[in-house]
Amino acid sequence: MKQDIRFDSQGSSCAAWFFQPDTEGPYPIVVMAHGLAAIKEMRLAAYAEKFAEAGYASLVFDYRHFGESDGEPRQLLDVKKQHQDWKAAIEFARQLPGVDPKRVVLWGTSLSGGHVLQVASEVPGIAAVMAQVPHLSGVASLGMISLPKILSLTLHGSYDTLRGMLGLSPHYILSSGEPGELAIMTSPGESQGYLELVPEDRQLDRRIAARFATSVGLYSPIKALSKLSMPVLMQVATEDVTTPAKPGIKAAPKYANVELREYQTGHFQPYVEPMFSRIVGDQLAFLSTAVPL
């Protein structure tokens, strides 16, 4: 059963879906949110439905400033604010009917795949973490793009940061675009893969406040791995040109609690068939042992 629901984060209302399994509680809950400037309608329900069929509840939410959540200005991506939203969602999830508050699992993908690692290191009592094609290293991500693009994004990001300091409206760039366009994701085929996740009856605001471009290179949540003791599933795509797999492949073997899965695919293929069934199947197998019913 899927229910529209809302919760408070720092005084603003976040839109969410609550998926309940057709079983008696108390049951574990998987807290879920999307990646870069994406919204919950972009295929997250497909995962939550699979989890519910297996007996796990899910709370799927949009960050402040995005989708159906409140927050002004729109399309403002601030990593600290998104971490606050995760913490508010976790607290809310623990109070939902039928949920076992001691069995909360964090599920993140792309940028939020990094968020779940960082947040799990700061919130007590997280039972397990699943990080799908995660953003792990800002330096590694910057290494995937050209110097001219880095300089252009830095210029636009600095201008937007100044506007923010002066209390002015944001200066926007695109979250995704074709090669040569001013956008965060511009590798060949990436924008198409990103936009194909948007339902036909839904319009996606592709803008993003440019100030994010000055902070993403400094964000390396892979450092949080050393602070985690709960089971972690890390799923990386070896052909990923948006969130490179190499940092995860290098780091994961150092930690006994981290299960690394490698897939010969790109960044957006895990969300759709035929790769989706394999990806979510591995997540369900992980849940069955890490957080058994």
Please name the residue ranges forming H helices in 73-198: 79-93, 111-120, 138-142, 147-165, 190-195
* pLDDT score, position 180: 87
Residues of the chain where predicted confidence (pLDDT) is lower than 50:
none
| Strands 172-176 and 99-109, sheet pairing | unpaired
Compute the distance between CA of residue 83 and CA of residue 70 in angstroms, rounded to an integer. Answer: 16
Rounded to two decimals, what is the model's pTM?
0.97
* pLDDT score, position 143: 87
CATH number of the domain at 50, please: 3.40.50.1820
* pLDDT score, position 196: 94
Residue 228 placed within a domain: yes
Residue 207 placed within a domain: no
Residue 268 placed within a domain: yes
The domain total for the chain is 1
Nearest to 51 by CA among 88, 13, 4, 2: 2
> Is the Cβ–Cβ distance between 13 and 69 less than 8 Å?
yes
Structure tokens at 206: 């592709």
Residue 175 placed within a domain: no
CA distances from 93 to 89, 114, 218 (A): 6, 20, 30
- Quick one: which H or E segment has residue 26? none
Q: What b/e sequence results for 83-112 when a residue is b if at least 16 CB atoms lie within 10 Å of its CB, and e otherwise?
A: bbbbebbbebbbebeebbeebbbbbbbbbb
> Is the Cβ–Cβ distance between 74 and 205 less than 8 Å?
yes
CA distances from 76 to 11, 34, 165, 211 (A): 16, 15, 14, 8
* pLDDT score, position 43: 97
DSSP character at residue 288: H
Residue 157 placed within a domain: no
Residue 163 placed within a domain: no
pLDDT tens per residue, range 227-280: 999 999 999 999 999 999 999 999 999 999 999 999 999 999 999 999 999 999
Please name the residue ranges forming H helices in 166-245: 190-195
Q: Tell me which residue range forms the domain holding 104.
A: 2-139+220-290
Residue 209 placed within a domain: no
Residue 162 placed within a domain: no
